[in-house]
Amino acid sequence: MTIRQLGVEEELILVDQDGAPAPLATEVIAGGGTGTDDVALVREFFLAQVEVVTAPTRSLAEIGRRLQHGRSTLRAAAEALGVRAVAVGGPVVDAPNGPRVRDERFDGISRVHAGIADDSLMCAVQVHVEVESRDEGVGVVDRVRPWVPLLLAISANSPYWHGRDTGFASWRSQVWGQWPSAGPTELLGDAAAYDALTAQMLHTGAIADAGLLNLPVRLSARYPTVEYRVADACTSLQDALVVAALSRALTETAARELRRGVAPAPWRVDQLRVAGWRAARFGLAERLLDPVDGSPVPARAALDTLVRHTAGALDDAGDLALVTDALARLCEGGTGADRQRRSFDRHGDLVAVVDDLARATS
């Protein structure tokens, strides 16, 4: 059995000493270098964002080392310019997003999507998992639909947004949901149907190119992978790794079901939206929808179901112990959103929350 390769892209925000977005991505990347064969630093939509991109590997431990190296390089380059790099879902303090990167593609996106684009300084962790073919990839996309809200619940890390407590564990996911191509889809069936969906989105102007198709899980436009895009950027590197491990395990489990002829669960889009809403609103602090029967259950019960569903694939990849330990820790100590709120309870100040986030981004 061959373990699937995976790669991770995580977006971070550059902030000044007051916690405000600092538009220095170009200078920070120049100071840190473009990276190595294993990890690179690249610009994103806003000049206050930098993305750490790992090369693919079969080793989750190696993904962790590459992300750690990317974060360390980014932190040193940022501190040399008097700013900090923070792994968080979105801007915490009440301050402008600052300017975006100017290029032809981003200029076009901004013209078409207007205020949605202007408001979208948001950071995610995205996981690419190798697939054998585009048809297998669509089979995975269809079969993981009820499970991906749990990845959002695990990673929820954006309770504060521009100076206010949103009441959500992940407000980033709500901002992301404003894009016309975001959110769950109906069952697709094969690559031809996926391509028809993409073509329809292009024809109607909802997307400028396939890279703007903001599905929770999609086929990569550049690589032979499925790309999980639902998770908030995780301050804790261990949180990011458990998202990566579960993304690979969900992919392998779905591919095995496809080979056995197991049909995808017939969840409607409205059910999937509710599952995503509960994950975004509560993280792991309340009931989530059970991925098998759709009923509200305690978060720990939903995660236990997730582990049972993916246990074979997790064990084969050597990731089962890491995932079970990490999920137990999250259920006991809370998500990134919970840690941010505890920080605010201690300090009573969102700038201090950003300070804590900067220290924890290591």
Q: What is the pLDDT of residues 18-49, one digit of tens each?
A: 999 999 999 999 998 766 789 999 999 999 99
Inter-residue contact 150 to 228 (CB < 8 Å) = no
- In this prediction, residues 145-164 reach a mean pLDDT of 98
What residues does 15 pair with on adjacent strands?
A: 21, 84
Residue in 178, 185, 157, 182 with CA at minimum distance from that of residue 280: 157
Nearest-CA neighbor of 247 among 38, 24, 56? 56
Report all structural domains of the chain as residue ranges with CATH numbers, in order of start.
6-355 (3.30.590.20)
Residue 350: phi and psi, rounded to 5, are -70, -30
pLDDT of residue 319: 98
pTM score of the predicted model: 0.97
The number of residues in the chain equals 362
The reported pLDDT for the residue numbered 362 is 77
Report residue 312's pLDDT band, with 50, 70 and 90 as the boundaries. very high
Looking at every residue in the chain, the average pLDDT score rounds to 96
pLDDT for 35: 61
Are 46 and 109 in contact, with CB atoms under 8 Å apart? no
